[in-house]
Structure 1
Amino acid sequence: MNKSRFSMLLLEPGEIYFEDYSCTMNMVKIKTDCEQQGRLKLCSKSLVFEPREWVHPLIKLHFKECSVINTIKTKNSNETNMIQVKVKQYSEMLEENILAPYKFVYESMDFFFLFDFASADECLHQMQQLLRASTLHAPEHNSMVATILHSRYTRMIFDPIMMEDFTEKIICEFQTEKISPLVRHQGKLALTPTNLYFQPFSNVENSPILKMKLEHMRRIYKRRFLLRQVGLEIYCSEESSVCHIYLAFQSERERDRAYQIVEESPNVVLERVHIEEMTLQWQNGVVSNFDYLMYLNCLADRSKNDLTQYPVFPWVIADYTSERLDMESAQTFRDLSKPMGALNPDRLEKLLERYHEMSDPKFLYGSHYSAPGLVLFYLVRKYPHYMLCLQNGRFDHPDRMFNSVKDVYNNCLKNMSDFKELVPEFYDTLAKGDFLVNMYNIDFGERHDGSKVDNVHLPPWATSPEDFVTKLREALESEYVSRYLHLWIDLIFGYKQRGEEAVKAYNVFHHVCYEGSVDLECIYDMNDRHALEVQIMEFGQVPKQLFTKPHVRKILPKILKPLSNQGYDNKEYIMKCLNTISLHKEAVTSALRNGDIIISVSKDGTLKVYDMVQMKQIRSVILCSTPLSSCVMVDQNIVAAGSWDNEIYLYDVEYGRIVESFRAHDDSVSCLQWLSKDHLLVSGGWDGVVRVWGNVGKTGQALRGLKAEFDHDGRITTVAFRYRRHILDILAGTSDGEIFIWDYSTKELINKINVHTSDVTGVCLLCEDRIVTTSENGDLSVTDLGVLNSVYEKQVSTTITSVCCDGTCVLWLGGSSGALLQWNMTTVAQLNEEQAHDDLIQSIYFDYPSKTLITASNDKSIKVWQLMQRS
């Protein structure tokens, strides 16, 4: 049996296909040699006859061009099983099955259809209904067709024979549409505990039912479809027979119910990648620029199945004339901080003149950077049938087609109504630039200079379509683009997308392009509403806004791997407990390693020294009668200990004596930090003050060596430091959940960041511009100091009491239950969880020389862990 040539793309966008009939078509009343066997397709706006023989074209008869549709009697029979259709004009498609512009025949013609099995009277009733609908304005026409469709839906019964298991019970059914570019397939959706089924109304689909196992589902997204929150897009794993489906429901309520059923099913295991996690992975270089942009497009409701919201990518190369592409030169690249319309100062000046003369709501650009026509402008060679569908069977004028990359870029820079960006196909190395090639050998016509429209003319630096997209992809992943891509994200998906910031950035489009600017449900005039819908669909839509603060910039490694996202440090440690040390009578609050000795302090007021070689305690001293909170080495043999009696004690481990003690705060000393480079001791207290001491270790000189003090409202819970080249900053975490950043040299507050809602329990520096903070209520947060914005937040456990970093990307978190969690902050993933202690972990210390981890706990013990890199 021949494969059908008919597809929904031969209809107008959004047109509905109902059913088809086996019949014989003739252009005269009686049988002649020109009669053709085939099938007649009944659609909402047209009749399409598909001949059995491929040499004959498909005939399309628009209802609006029909003057007569009626049954007639044949000479040989009194039976009325023939329908006459009289049209003023008609079109022919796919003659000899060659994809080409439709042939329009502008003359009256009578077509006769003799039905093989169906009743002509019954068919006539449906055709005349649709004929009457064709005389109405578009809104009334759509309403009448929807009524016909609903009537058919109520008569349709979901066929359980097609289900995988006859014992399956249907949880719920919905009337839905399966969406693909420019096409909507009506049908019934049925959900069972194990499967999703879609049964189309018509037989145009390849199979009578589409089946998707819930256990194969991996990602599910709520989508905005045709301006309404009714879409649902589902992606499955590779083993699924159906890897993807895009559905549109009757209402947002029905969509949300289906989403909830799928999401809560015990058989569904979704891959949950949160935007903060993905952003952090991109910032670390784990995720490529290409993949990150695809992810953002997906989150912003952009899908390749919806041409009105197709994924949008930036122009990144500005040089289309050189013989060689110089990736080291900034002149090679487009300025990513500006929208396309603002790249040319002369054009921008003219646009601004017009803008200032407008009445509100003003707009700077009269066309959008992404719309169905613009998408197909780029992809007409790959998807010619889409363009024929969108443009009523015609291609664009040869001179207006995508003929040359250089010409299109220049036009986007100079033309007063052309501001389009790119589509992902420009950077898709797997497809090898197939969209640039006239792969179907279509006759697109000739340009004004007589040249034939064929493959796209590439810049001199590209030897082939594959080479072109490979170099564009290298450019997208290059150091220059990585350095500035966040600025383009701000324009398209971020805080410069709308409002005052958009005005400042010259990034203002027509108000109907923005989500939420027009509430269609409040427009009751059908004609006004339809006109607005058409305008928005054709003009383009701004993506859903994902960020309301400046987007973080990418952290550039010293060596960039342009086409690989596998060059990151996927570090993980295997942990083996070497020793458990139990010396204290109360909770151990802090412990560290110095060579072969372990030094610890406790709430019992004692400092203990344990020799790892001799496996025994070698020093023990009662420093005070109150608990000790922390300890750090300030010299090869001198340890500083902070106490609840407001003092800092200096103890010489070698000679076993207290060198000095001094009153450091007006309340308990809560934390200490030693800066070996500058020979400074930083202390934090419950009095809300951070102090920096310079003469530590010189007997009697500590108090005189007070170098700086910084006041805070809340108690100081943790201190840290960072170097910005030669500038030293002191960081303080407080009981108010805030992080303060002080410039040590000027003594000025650089920034105060509200990160947590409870006590900050730890601060670790990942790099110069990024810190990890933890809080008492179990929050883990990554904050970018460049934009003063938290880029990642995660509820890790009920309480995090301590945190430590290995100096690169591995983080350890100590919990109130004694659990020790290991995280890789490059891949942003928890690697493992160890039940290290029986009670709260007070401190974690990483000793780089010995590659050991020292943990101290309320269970009165210290544990030494050997760390081995997992291969």
Structure 2
Amino acid sequence: MAFGGEGSDQQKERFSLLLLDPGEIYFEDFGVFYYTHGLTEEEAIRRKTRGRIKMCSKSVVFDPQDVMLPMLKFPLRSCTAIEKWQGPVTSRINATGNVILIESSQVYQMKEGNIVAPYVFKKKKEKYLFSLNFVMIEDVLPQMQQLLRASTLTAADQNSMIAAIVQSRQARVPFNTSWLETLYEKIVVEMVGDKIDPLVVNPGRIMITSSRLYFQPFNNIDPYPVLKIKLSDIKRIVKRRFLLRQVGVEIFCSEDGLKSDLFLTLKEQELRDQLYDSIVTQPDVALAETGQENATLRWQSGVMSNFDYLMYLNNMADRSFNDLTQYPVFPWVVADYTSANLDLSRPETYRDLSKPIGALNPERLHRTLERYHDMPDPKFMYGSHYSTPGYVVYYLVRVAPEYMLCLQNGRFDQPDRMFLSIKETWNNVLTGASDVKELIPEFYQTSGQFLVNAQHLKLGTRQDGTKAEDVELPPWAADHDDFVQKCREALESDYVSSRLHEWIDLIFGYKQRGEASENAYNVFYHLTYEGAVDLDSITDPNERLSLEAQIMEFGQTPKQLFHGPHPQRFQQSPGTKDSVLMGSGGQSESLRTNATDSSTRVPMMKSCHLAALWEGREGLKPVYEHKLHKDTVTAVRLAPSGKTIFSVSQDSLMKMYSLEEQRQQRSISISNMALSSCQVMADSKTLIIGSWDNNVYVYSVEYGHILDTVLAHDDAVSCIQYRDGLLVSASWDSTVKLWESKIGGGAKKQQLQLSAELDHDSGVVCACMDAGNTRVASGTEDGTLYIWSVESQYVLSRHPLHTGSIHAVSFSPEGQRVLTCGADHYLRVLDVTTGTEVCAKDLEEPLR
């Protein structure tokens, strides 16, 4: 619904703000000719291309007039020079001296042939010439060079400099009063704000008059120079959160409309409240009644449908189609995606609405609770959320592909990770290590076009050789339209109507927070909750930027609407609920038994030369003993110099201890959450640290601050290893990622470039590279050892070695054997070439 029917309203030109980074500002454009550098002048003139060059806060984009040619995007961080071209004196290209030279090591090619497709990344240092047609170079070049200088700063400093540039430019652009509809309008208030669309923030000037609301963008991206809304047309106006701050206001001109006409944000809550009051106090404004008690009563009595009531609650809880971090959330209702016919009279057809997604599978819940109880405060059960921008575009990629390309830096997700099957998606939210996503409204009130690849997008090929096309439907659905219709019938069924209040308690009600949420297994990461952090009170720009990025990534829990149990709609039939819970539990118990039976089929070997070494451990005597941390120490590393020990802990601190001076030299708070792993570089001056907040940090010992923060995973980073320019990171999100890097000493910002993602069937606890960086071994929560090829990025072999989690894995020095140990007390040695287990020893204690 958010993206349906928008094609007719989209502007004709190819360029849109979705081609920029989320939140990036587009300033203005200029008519140019593009000349290919390196050709003879005659050839360059013959092949010149007319178009417009777009100046943006973090990039420069060239949009050719010929739509068959690709647009060129130059990220400013990849540009080594933007300057006036000093061509030959006799050059016809440079006759007016109005030519800009851009030298860049990377360019993105986008929308060639006006077709939405993944970007083509051209990584080669080249020069590009643009001659300005109707403006002097002195009016353009200084602004581009200022933005180029900003791109060399840290992310926080770059944003601060851009904000200053934006504020300066905005101050010079007054509201054009010639756009006022009549001469008799009285100006009530004028201020600067942002218009919010999914993944897009566009600044402009807001004006309220006695009869209209006006929004004038500071750029020419919209098809209209000024947006006008009659005050008499406004039916609803709602105060909104944006990135957990009370700074938004959303305006609806239809009483029952789902998509608003305008979503605006201001810099401060006081300005937002001033704008809101200026609108609602005007005589022409007559708002519709939206009392929460009245809506609940209408739903209880059957006047309002389940769908409409859920949409109403989403709206009241700050969920908006314009904000992907707060997109409306709907429940999975149907649990049967295998039957030929959908029988809505069977309780087994439905999902248990009294439990959050993460608690539907008892086996997964058990593992979640074990991890939860071992965590330091603030604890959380689920590292991911039930509604995030990534999940929304996951469902809607076929009707809104540019949103996924925007979120994922010009790429579609890997084909095997895309939304390909209803059944597979449901199975994954039941069993996936970190997948607890719910649904979106499109599953219950659309034509189902979001399930069809009508645009013939090139979504890639799966590992089994099949192309990613339409979403595979369950057998009971005749087509995509029939699927949505039957989902809606299930949502409106008596069974769901009598239990929907239980799901409302979890998402919008009293089980959302506090002890009730813990008892309901409904605890998410603390930054997802309203009021968890006051961004306005944070003065450190780096910390604030990091928190904003986490809020964007993790999603946001809806505003809490009810502080007691929500009333039930209809009287529940006796015994029905119990039969559903017993059926669900029986199935899970069977799965657990099968998993246990399978995992116990491990060869038991008595002979092992490590036995004597282990039995003699009592003879080991400590040389030094120092208590540095307040919580579990998760990694200890000796610097290559042999003079310093680094340690990280679940208390979120990194400690530096001098062996020479026998004292602690440094204690640094790296993250707001537990630290899981640490690596020391060969120069002893740089650390790489993994954290439960999903980030990998690069820390400079020499300069005493964090050089780079990379959002590496969708759940906690459990393990990292670095060698010779290759970083391996493992996570509870069931993946291992390989990153290319040249990390060393110095104060320059470090970069990690993702090169591969290796998928597993359960959370990954540990990973290790061999000495030649040719293979990666990884151990998972379900006791399986994986061996991967770094070159091909395919799994070479997999071995169910342990019962319970594998805690550690290591290659032997020559790389021919892999050692593992785990929760089942066993130490095992596996021959990599033959897959033979050459040693297994029960050491009678959990090994880490």
Q: Same fold (TM over 0.5)?
A: yes
1:126 and 2:143 aligned: yes
1:17 aligned partner: 26
Counterparts of 1:293 and 1:32 in 2: how far apart (Å)? 61
In the TM superposition, residue 479 of structure 1 has moved relative to its aligned partner by 0.6
1:453 to 457, 463, 468: 468
In the TM superposition, residue 166 of structure 1 has moved relative to its aligned partner by 2.1
Aligned partners of 2:381 and 2:521 also within 8 Å? yes
1:532 aligned partner: 547
2:35 aligned partner: 26
- For 1:630-641, list aligned pairs within 5 A: none
- For 1:712-791, list aligned pairs within 5 A: none
Aligned partners of 2:498 and 2:572 also within 8 Å? no
In the TM superposition, residue 517 of structure 1 has moved relative to its aligned partner by 1.2
Counterparts of 2:377 and 2:511 in 1: how far apart (Å)? 19
In the TM superposition, residue 526 of structure 1 has moved relative to its aligned partner by 1.2
Counterparts of 2:191 and 2:289 in 1: how far apart (Å)? 26
Counterparts of 1:112 and 1:59 in 2: how far apart (Å)? 12
- For 1:111-260, list aligned pairs within 5 A: 111-237=128-254, 244-260=261-277
- For 1:356-371, list aligned pairs within 5 A: 356-371=373-388
In the TM superposition, residue 73 of structure 1 has moved relative to its aligned partner by 4.3
Look up the equivalent residue of 2:486 and give its one-letter code. K
2:503 aligned partner: 488
Q: Secondary structure at 1:13's aligned position in 2?
A: coil
Aligned partners of 1:412 and 1:420 also within 8 Å? yes
In the TM superposition, residue 78 of structure 1 has moved relative to its aligned partner by 5.7
Counterparts of 1:210 and 1:6 in 2: how far apart (Å)? 20
Aligned partners of 1:319 and 1:332 also within 8 Å? yes
Moved more, 517-526 or 278-287: 517-526
Q: 1:239 to 1:449 in 2, by over 3 A?
A: closer
2:434 to 390, 393, 417: 417
Counterparts of 1:211 and 1:238 in 2: how far apart (Å)? 18
1:593 aligned partner: none
Counterparts of 2:184 and 2:499 in 1: how far apart (Å)? 57
Q: 1:239 to 1:479 in 2, by over 3 A?
A: closer
Aligned partners of 2:235 and 2:255 also within 8 Å? no
2:16 aligned partner: 7
- For 1:690-729, list aligned pairs within 5 A: none
In the TM superposition, residue 463 of structure 1 has moved relative to its aligned partner by 0.6
Identity %: 53
1:272 to 257, 279, 289: 289
1:329 and 2:318 aligned: no
Q: Secondary structure at 1:39's aligned position in 2?
A: strand
- For 1:634-713, list aligned pairs within 5 A: none
Q: Secondary structure at 1:171's aligned position in 2?
A: strand
- For 1:60-79, list aligned pairs within 5 A: 60-74=73-87, 75-76=91-92, 79=96
CA distances 1:328-356 after superposition (whole Å, capped 9, x unpaired): 01000000000000001111111111111
Larger strand proportion of the pair: 1
CA distances 1:43-65 after superposition (whole Å, capped 9, x unpaired): 00101111001110111011100
1:402 aligned partner: 419
Look up the equivalent residue of 1:510 and give its one-letter code. Y
In the TM superposition, residue 237 of structure 1 has moved relative to its aligned partner by 3.6
Look up the equivalent residue of 2:71 and give its one-letter code. L
In the TM superposition, residue 80 of structure 1 has moved relative to its aligned partner by 1.9
1:753 aligned partner: none
Counterparts of 2:537 and 2:13 in 1: how far apart (Å)? 43
2:328 aligned partner: 311
1:512 aligned partner: 527
Mind listing any 5+ residue stretches in structure 1 that lack a counterpart? 559-871
1:47 and 2:47 aligned: no
Counterparts of 2:154 and 2:453 in 1: how far apart (Å)? 39
1:107 to 118, 124, 141: 124
Counterparts of 2:349 and 2:96 in 1: how far apart (Å)? 75
Larger helix proportion of the pair: 2
Look up the equivalent residue of 2:444 and give its one-letter code. Y
Counterparts of 2:342 and 2:571 in 1: how far apart (Å)? 22
1:433 and 2:448 aligned: yes
In the TM superposition, residue 513 of structure 1 has moved relative to its aligned partner by 1.0
Counterparts of 2:280 and 2:255 in 1: how far apart (Å)? 19
1:782 aligned partner: none
2:797 aligned partner: none
Q: Secondary structure at 1:32's aligned position in 2?
A: helix
Counterparts of 1:347 and 1:121 in 2: how far apart (Å)? 63
Counterparts of 1:190 and 1:137 in 2: how far apart (Å)? 35
Aligned partners of 1:482 and 1:556 also within 8 Å? no
In the TM superposition, residue 32 of structure 1 has moved relative to its aligned partner by 3.0
Q: 1:496 to 1:238 in 2, by over 3 A?
A: closer
2:596 aligned partner: none
In the TM superposition, residue 140 of structure 1 has moved relative to its aligned partner by 1.1
1:477 aligned partner: 492
In the TM superposition, residue 120 of structure 1 has moved relative to its aligned partner by 1.1
Look up the equivalent residue of 2:51 and give its one-letter code. G
Q: Secondary structure at 2:568's aligned position in 1?
A: coil
Counterparts of 2:46 and 2:528 in 1: how far apart (Å)? 55
Aligned partners of 1:27 and 1:109 also within 8 Å? no
Moved more, 305-314 or 168-177: 168-177
Look up the equivalent residue of 1:13 and give its one-letter code. P
Q: Secondary structure at 1:496's aligned position in 2?
A: helix
Q: Secondary structure at 1:328's aligned position in 2?
A: coil
Mind listing any 5+ residue stretches in structure 2 that lack a counterpart? 1-10, 574-848
Q: Secondary structure at 2:153's aligned position in 1?
A: coil
1:465 to 480, 504, 515: 480
Counterparts of 2:505 and 2:47 in 1: how far apart (Å)? 63
Counterparts of 1:359 and 1:538 in 2: how far apart (Å)? 22
Counterparts of 2:416 and 2:433 in 1: how far apart (Å)? 18
Counterparts of 1:124 and 1:261 in 2: how far apart (Å)? 41
Moved more, 170-179 or 470-479: 170-179
Counterparts of 1:226 and 1:143 in 2: how far apart (Å)? 18
Superposed CA RMSD: 1.6
2:617 aligned partner: none
Q: Secondary structure at 2:29's aligned position in 1?
A: strand
In the TM superposition, residue 522 of structure 1 has moved relative to its aligned partner by 2.4
Counterparts of 2:517 and 2:435 in 1: how far apart (Å)? 19
Aligned partners of 1:71 and 1:84 also within 8 Å? yes
Q: Secondary structure at 2:462's aligned position in 1?
A: coil
The normalised TM-score by structure 1 is 0.63
1:554 to 569, 586, 594: 569
Q: Give the number of the structure whose alpha-carbon radius of gyration is greater.
A: 1
1:829 aligned partner: none
1:502 aligned partner: 517
In the TM superposition, residue 27 of structure 1 has moved relative to its aligned partner by 2.0
Aligned partners of 1:300 and 1:545 also within 8 Å? yes
Aligned partners of 1:58 and 1:94 also within 8 Å? yes
Q: Secondary structure at 2:235's aligned position in 1?
A: strand
1:716 aligned partner: none
1:351 and 2:368 aligned: yes
Counterparts of 1:386 and 1:198 in 2: how far apart (Å)? 24
Say how many residue pairs are matched.
Answer: 554
Counterparts of 1:87 and 1:495 in 2: how far apart (Å)? 54
In the TM superposition, residue 92 of structure 1 has moved relative to its aligned partner by 0.5
CA distances 1:392-413 after superposition (whole Å, capped 9, x unpaired): 1000000000000000100000
1:284 to 289, 301, 304: 301
Counterparts of 2:372 and 2:46 in 1: how far apart (Å)? 65
Aligned partners of 1:71 and 1:121 also within 8 Å? no
Aligned partners of 1:73 and 1:81 also within 8 Å? no
Aligned partners of 1:285 and 1:556 also within 8 Å? no
In the TM superposition, residue 521 of structure 1 has moved relative to its aligned partner by 2.1
The normalised TM-score by structure 2 is 0.64
Counterparts of 1:58 and 1:467 in 2: how far apart (Å)? 40
Look up the equivalent residue of 1:41 and give its one-letter code. K
